[in-house]
Structure 1
Amino acid sequence: MTIHDVARVAGVSIATVSRAFNNPELLSPDARGAIEQAVQVLNYRPHVAARRLRGSRTNLILVVVPSLNPYFLDIFAGAEDAAKAAGYGVLVGHSERVLSRERDFVEQVAAGRADGLILVTTVGGYDSDDITRMPPSVIALDVGEANDLPKVQIDHVAAAEMITSYLIDLGHRRIAHILGAPGSSLTSHRLDGFQRALARRGIAYDPALCLPGDFTVDGGATAAAAIVTMADPPTAVFAANDQTAIGALQFFKSVDWRVPEDISVVGFDDERLAAIASPALSTVHVPTYQIGFRAMQKMILLLASQPIEQDTTLEAEVVVRRSAGPPRALQPKSAN
């Protein structure tokens, strides 16, 4: 459905429909009513235009996260603080990394249940037609490949390259990577960074050292169990997130592989549990609270029809702790 269809059903000109969407106070109540009815009959995406006609606001923003772990809740906390300062309330939705659930949340905001939408690591890309029909939306943390929505993120590819290069600098040449959840842009971008680091240092990528995962502790343990059975195991592991890394670390310890003496393990995200793991986990620090805060600030400006920076990229950094060291062949010999 297009604005032409709305004009035809309402029995008015296209210019009148456009004026109704942008300056409804300039039209008579009868004209506004006819256009609102046409919008509803035609399901014109589906009630955003009608809500604008009514001029109603909920003063609520919906933040959709892929899971309810503390990492994503830190992003929500930043968004909530920024919203509170601007007089908005915040709701949280849980997509479980399922595209249909994410799109359901988009439809709920479009139907007027909230004024705007922050998607934390969107499950799938939205094409140009989708974007023209989206309610006011901002993406936080990471984006799909075909996405032109405003965003606040880090460069996951560059950050994954940094943590992999850290292992290479320690002397590791045979490095395993435990993937994240299938279909996640975080998974693909962090894999890209891993492969880019190997290529830039002249190390051949071995698909056998790329193991499936799902961003969970159990997934990390399963991958580690596969690693210990390899005839030529890696000397280091880069896990797609900290939970995966800790699952791997715990499994290695359960079979008497010492970390980092026998195998090094690094993660990504710098969740709170990374610092209290045993040994403490080397990882990539992601400024989660700031990502949520900045994304909400951008949303507030968007709702006020103020100019915004389309793409905002915050800095990530490698945090060195105790879970990584040189491979055994390069470790100093102990004095006897």
Structure 2
Amino acid sequence: MMEQLKRATISDVAEHAGVSRAAVSKVLRNAYGVSPAMRTKVEESMTLLNYRPLALARGMRGNSYTLGVFLVDLSNTFFSVLVEGIRDVAEELGYQVLIGQARHGLDAQQKLIEAMIDRRMDGLLLIAPFGPNEELEKLGRSIPVVVLGRHGPAQYFDTVASDDIAGSALIVDHLVSLGHERISMLANTQPDSEPGMPQTVRRQGYDTAMEKHGLAEHIDHVPGRWGYESGLEAGRSIANRPLAKRPTALHGGADVAALGAFTSLFDAGIRIPADISLVGYDNVPSASLPPIGLTTVDQSGVQMGRQAAELLLSRIEGRSESEHVLIPPKLIVRKTTSKPSPQVTTS
């Protein structure tokens, strides 16, 4: 049986012709400013590589050279980092990126996604969408889709996510190495969490790491959502606990929630890290500000966005096999973690 040849992509054509991917995109779009020599060189490479840009599929979608980015929470600045990576790749190939934000809730999400499809976008990048995988699979059968944040597997769409199991383990391992045992987590225990959602996987990683260190009795999920206001509420609930019931360290779940908890704990007179060590997740730009210095997990947001855009463009070009990418996380140690004080541990 003959091995099936790998389908040529825009990147393959660009490398063969010795030009940029943007130049190949301009030739495909008959864009202004392409010299006859450039066009000839690119078209010869397309012929030699048997490159086919799926003109029929593009024509059915209107050949818009537009990618839709869906997200729910504009207040989470990590999402803007993802969009930066998406935009970088899209602009290299002459695509425009249009961003749509929906309110919380499946109905609002579905209406916005349908509006993007109606506007004949060539593909969709969905950042941490809600709802069952079955709905995403149905969507992926009608238009190229890549989902950021959620984990695979899936048959009709691709996923790009941080290795959230490993990320939570980095946090727990770091805190345990400092001497902490009473480690809680802002767990985002919302009822609509699907198995592959980041809040579900990070919570599993936290539980597994705590059990590995023999700290199962100290597993503590502080409920709420991963937003600044929920972080404030979670911090207040921890501050209101009796001293002996308070954690000495807190896995913040996401930077936006960790910063909310930081604020309310500070307002309650609880010192960070002397009284409670705090770790975020995402490494948003504000986490590195000197007055904060949040210890956090860096999941390479720009890289995630670029990877997702690359996958979407290859789907638009005709790839049908699903791909699921996990980005290795890295712990960034700053000022909000330290050894627990003797007074805290013995209370």
The residue that corresponds to 1:294 in the other structure is 307
Q: What residue is the counterpart of 1:199 in the other structure?
A: 211
The alpha-carbon deviation at position 66 of structure 1 amounts to 2.2
Alignment deviations for residues 239-287 of structure 1 (CA, whole Å, 9 cap, x no partner): 1111211222222222222111111111111111111163411010121
Matches within 5 A, 1:151-162: 151-162=159-170
Q: Which amino acid aligns with 1:66?
A: V
The 5-angstrom pairing of residues 1-336 of structure 1 reads 54=60, 56-69=62-75, 70-111=77-118, 113-127=120-134, 130=138, 133-143=141-151, 149-180=157-188, 182=190, 183-184=192-193, 185-206=197-218, 209-231=220-242, 232=244, 233-276=246-289, 278-306=291-319, 310-329=323-342
Q: Is the 8 A contact 2:146 2:157 kept in 1?
A: yes
User: What's the CA shift for 1:67?
Assistant: 1.4
Structure 1 gap segments, 5+ residues each:
1-49, 332-336
Partner Cα distance (2:146, 2:288) in 1: 31
Q: Could you state the TM-score of these two structures normalised by the residue count of structure 2?
A: 0.74
| Structure number, greater radius of gyration | 1
Q: Do the aligned partners of 1:122 and 1:144 also contact (CA within 8 Å) in 2?
A: no
Q: State the alpha-carbon separation in 2 of the partners of residues 160 and 148 from structure 1.
A: 28
> Contact 1:213 / 1:244 at 8 angstroms: preserved in 2?
no
Do the aligned partners of residues 210 and 277 (structure 1) sit closer, same or farther apart at CA in structure 2, a change above 3 Å counting? farther
1:84 counterpart SS class: helix
Partner secondary structure for residue 250 of structure 2: strand
Q: Displacement, 1:110?
A: 3.9
CA 1:288–1:116: 2 relative to 1, 3 Å: same
Residue 26 of structure 1: aligned partner: none
Q: 1-side partners of 2:118 and 2:92: how far apart?
A: 25
Whether the 8 Å contact between 1:106 and 1:134 is mirrored in structure 2 is no
Matched position secondary structure for 1:221 = helix
Could you list the runs of 5+ residues in structure 2 that have no partner in the other structure? 1-55
Letter in structure 2 aligned against 1:201: H
Conserved? CA contact 2:157–2:322, under 8 Å: no
Report how far residue 187 of structure 1 moved: 1.6
Distance 1:248 1:260 in 2: 13
Q: Distance in 2 between matches of 1:254 and 1:320?
A: 23
Question: How much does 1:158 deviate?
Answer: 1.6
Query: Partners of 1:242 and 1:265 in 2: how far apart?
Result: 10
- Equivalent pairs counted in the alignment come to 281
The one-character-per-residue Cα deviations of 1:292-321 (angstroms, maximum 9, x if unpaired) are 111111111111114777112222111000
1:90 maps to a residue whose letter is: V
- Cα distance in 2 for residues equivalent to 1:140 and 1:300: 15
Contact 1:121 1:143 in 2 (8 A): no
Opposite residue 210 of structure 1, the aligned amino acid is H
Q: Quick one: distance in 2 between partners of 1:152 and 1:84?
A: 20
Q: What's the secondary structure of 1:192's corresponding residue?
A: helix
Secondary structure of the 1:90 match is: strand
SS in 1 for 2:147: strand
Counterpart for residue 10 of structure 1: none
